[in-house]
């Protein structure tokens, strides 16, 4: 297991450096894994506005397992409402967050304190600030490796 997860924190570090290279006028950051198929029918507007207004973070996940394509319906999750929403865990296939919260990543990494994947995103965007002002959302995307639909129809999603 260690071999599979030892580099998970590097995605957060790379995102940190990329965001720091952007002009500061960009206040809301949308990060998406390279292997995500995004739904063109889901409405993400309210989640972008939530990040703009409240400074929270919103993470998206397809729900795991094989599927025919991205779910267009978005199901909002709250802490503790399912086995995958247990607390310090911010879904990260698609992640919308406030630029201001992406701080100290390099220091956590240098000190070997940066957690990987969903735990690391929560650690950086919320735990270090002492809040749980985030939301996980199921749907709106899927991973390429989970999509069973033929490649020729992906543009219709």
Domain ranges of the chain: 2-156
| pLDDT (0 to 100) of residue 7 | 77
| pLDDT (0 to 100) of residue 155 | 86
Q: Which parts of the chain sit beneath pLDDT 70?
A: 1-6, 80-86
Which residues, 6+ apart, have CB-to-CB distance to 3 below 8 Å? none
Rounded CA-CA distance 66/36 in Å is: 13
Cβ count within 10 A of residue 127: 17
| pLDDT (0 to 100) of residue 121 | 95
| pLDDT (0 to 100) of residue 5 | 54
Question: What pLDDT, in 10s, does the model give residues 75-95?
Answer: 998 776 666 666 778 999 999
| pLDDT (0 to 100) of residue 63 | 82
Tell me the pTM: 0.91
| pLDDT (0 to 100) of residue 1 | 44
Cβ count within 10 A of residue 96: 22
Cβ count within 10 A of residue 13: 18
CATH topology of domain 2-156: Spore Coat Polysaccharide Biosynthesis Protein SpsA; Chain A (3.90.550)
| pLDDT (0 to 100) of residue 89 | 85
| pLDDT (0 to 100) of residue 78 | 75
């Amino acid at each position: 297991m260690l071999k599979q997860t030892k580099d998970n924190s590097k995605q957060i570090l790379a995102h940190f450096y990329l965001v720091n290279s952007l002009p500061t006028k960009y206040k809301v950051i949308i990060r998406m894994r390279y292997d995500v198929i995004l739904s063109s029918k889901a409405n993400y507007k309210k989640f972008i506005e939530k990040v703009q207004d409240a400074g929270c973070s919103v993470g998206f996940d397809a729900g795991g397992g094989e599927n025919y394509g991205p779910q267009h319906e978005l199901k909002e999750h709250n802490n503790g409402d399912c086995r995958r929403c247990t607390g310090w865990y911010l879904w990260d296939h698609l992640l919308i967050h406030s630029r201001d919260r992406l701080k100290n990543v390099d220091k956590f990494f240098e000190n070997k304190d940066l957690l990987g994947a969903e735990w690391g995103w929560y650690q950086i965007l919320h735990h270090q600030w002492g809040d749980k002002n985030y939301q996980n959302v199921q749907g709106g995307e899927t991973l390429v490796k989970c999509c069973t639909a033929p490649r020729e129809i992906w543009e219709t999603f």
